[in-house]
Amino acid sequence: MRPAVRRLLGLSASLLFIVGAVEIGMRSSGFEPLDTSRAYASAEIGRASTPAPKDDAFRIVFLGGEIVYGHGVEQNETFVSRLNGAQPTIAGTNLGTAGYGTFQSLTLLEERIGVLKPNLVVYGYSRQHPGRNVATGDWMRQRGYEIPPYVTLLRDSTFRREVATDLEMWPMEQNLALVAAVHEIFIVDAYRNRIADALPATVQIVHAIERLANANGAQFALMYLDGATRTLRNVAQRQGIFVLPCSSQHGDAPTAADHNRYAQCIAAHLGARGLL
């Protein structure tokens, strides 16, 4: 065997050994290859709430992500179902959808508001939503690089709607944790500017939901499901937005008991406002 070939084989073996050792170390530390089967998909929009409401019912449309949808609890345990059961004058429609943010909630409301004709639109804000609205790098990774429609914040503080898009996976990303980790670092860095745009864009989208509701004869309320940033609280206070401060101590994984407290909190605030 020629010396050059021998050296090449030796280098190849050394490289494979190093890659293998790094891969074993990364997996033992919790890193994994990209698993697109666990990507956060939004296959089901909303959950059934009540039969067709009576003509005199107070119709509420609830928008949001997996917390509003009721991820992790039974359908009859969601706060929308509990609110409907406890308040016979209310007909709540649950349009919460797993994986949705503020912008996806806006587009869904645009499709449904003409049919549902709500008296009140409630958007359930979660801390995960700003990143979803502008498609930050970490959100892309969670989605398996299948990106739903999102927005780009413009210089005049308005936003431009972007279509759904897919990013190509790197070779071996679904087989090697090392490749997946390097690609994630690259994606997060490449789209780092979107992080700063996430909250300002979210504020603009919230205003768009409010305008849409008002234009269709409905009131609007903002619900803090797992707390809210100071910026969002200040905007709501300055603009006089009706706020439902009904948050959970369990963050993005509220229990059935949390949903029951949500329903009680919503009913109390609606009653104080004379809507029940």
Secondary structure (3-state) at 177: helix
Does a structural domain hold residue 216? Answer: yes
Residues 63 and 37 sit within 8 Å (Cβ to Cβ): no
Strand ranges inside the chain, DSSP E: 58-63, 90-94, 120-125, 146-147, 150-153, 159-162, 165-166, 219-224, 242-244
Helix, strand or coil for residue 36? helix
**Quick check: is 129 in a domain?**
yes
Q: What confidence score (pLDDT) does residue 42 get?
A: 47
pLDDT at residue 245, rounded to an integer: 85
Q: Give the model's pLDDT for residue 260.
A: 92
CA-nearest of 215, 232, 231 to 223 is: 232
Domain count, the chain: 1
Please check whether residue 26 lies inside any domain of the structure. Answer: no
Range(s) of the domain holding residue 242 = 36-272
137 membership: H or E segment, kind and range? helix 137-142
Q: What pLDDT is recorded for position 224?
A: 86
In 112-267, where do the E strands start and end? 120-125, 146-147, 150-153, 159-162, 165-166, 219-224, 242-244
What separation, in Å, do the N-terminal and C-terminal C-alpha atoms of the chain show? 89
Please give the structure tokens belonging to residue 185. 């670092």
Tell me the β-bridge partners of 162: 150
Question: What pLDDT tens digit does each residue of the chain (276 aa) get?
Answer: 566 656 666 666 666 767 667 667 767 777 677 666 555 544 455 555 544 556 678 999 999 998 999 888 888 899 999 999 888 888 999 999 888 999 999 999 999 999 999 999 999 998 889 999 998 877 777 766 777 889 999 988 899 999 887 777 777 767 777 777 777 776 776 677 788 899 899 999 999 999 999 999 999 999 988 766 677 777 788 888 898 888 877 666 889 999 999 999 999 999 898 887
In a domain, 21, yes or no: no
Report if residue 25 sits inside a domain: no
3-state secondary structure of 217: coil
Q: Alpha-carbon distance 266 to 276, whole Å?
A: 11
Burial 9-47 (b: 16+ CB within 10 A, else e): eeeeeeeeeeeeeebeebeeeebebbeeeeebebeebbb
pLDDT at 98: 86
Residue 47 lies in a domain: yes
185: β partners: none
Beta bridge partners of 124: 223
What does the alpha-carbon distance between residue 50 and residue 234 come to, in Å, rounded to a whole number?
A: 35
pLDDT at 43: 47
Residue 123 has a pLDDT of 96
Claim: this prediction has a pTM higher than 0.85 = no
Q: Is residue 11 part of a domain?
A: no
The CATH number of the domain holding residue 101 is 3.40.50.1110
Q: Is 205 domain-assigned?
A: yes
Measuring CA to CA, which residue among 62, 53, 119 is closest to residue 88? 53
